[in-house]
Structure 1
Amino acid sequence: MIERRGSPRQRVYKRGTIAFNGGGFDCTVRNLSDGGARIDVEGPVRLPEHFMLVIESDRVMHRCRPIWSSAQRVGVAFE
């Protein structure tokens, strides 16, 4: 398998929030890199073109855009 990520990923299990338009919903962050993340959601969701990924335990917010999705998983790139 060819690795296409620009930076190595770190496996994590962190609670997150996908925030947009004054609202949002919970997610689980499953891996992180300098350039993006993989997140798990409760079910198939339609995400906006850009949103904020909030990880309260780390006190960070990342502006994101979805890159890929399948069932309950979403890959995002940080902007």
Structure 2
Amino acid sequence: MEDKRKLRRTRVLKAAMISFGGSAISCTVRNLTKSGAMLDVASPLGVPREFALVISSDDIRHECRIVWIKEQRIGVSFKPDRES
């Protein structure tokens, strides 16, 4: 099977939060690239299509869009930063 990813993924194991509308859901970041991530969640139910991924330990916040969901895993792409 050929790997069609454009960027090499870095495996990580970081606690994070899916933040949206004043609410938050705990998750674990399993791998990371400059353009997206794979997250583990207890359940994908209630996770909106777009949200902020907050990794407090690294002081990182990415605006995200869900690309795929499979069981308790969610693939997200990071939205481009807006320039002022």
TM interval, short-chain normalised: over 0.9
- Higher mean displacement: 44-53 or 24-33: 44-53
Q: Per-residue CA shift, 1:13-70, capped at 9, x if unaligned?
A: 0000000001111000000001100000012323222100000111000000000001
CA contact (8 A) 1:12 1:29 kept: yes
Alignment size in residue pairs? 79
- TM (norm. structure 1) is 0.92
Letter in 1 for 2:74: V
Counterpart Cα distance in 1 of 2:63 and 2:50: 7
CA contact (8 A) 2:11 2:31 kept: yes
CA contact (8 A) 2:44 2:74 kept: no
- Give ranges in structure 2 of 5+ residues lacking alignment: 80-84
Alignment RMSD, CA only? 1.1
Identity %: 46
Counterpart Cα distance in 2 of 1:27 and 1:42: 7
Counterpart Cα distance in 2 of 1:22 and 1:50: 14
Higher radius of gyration, 1 or 2: 2
1:25 is matched with which residue?
25
- Give ranges in structure 1 of 5+ residues lacking alignment: none
Counterpart Cα distance in 1 of 2:2 and 2:34: 19
Counterpart Cα distance in 2 of 1:4 and 1:48: 27
- Higher mean displacement: 3-12 or 61-70: 3-12
2:10 is matched with which residue?
10
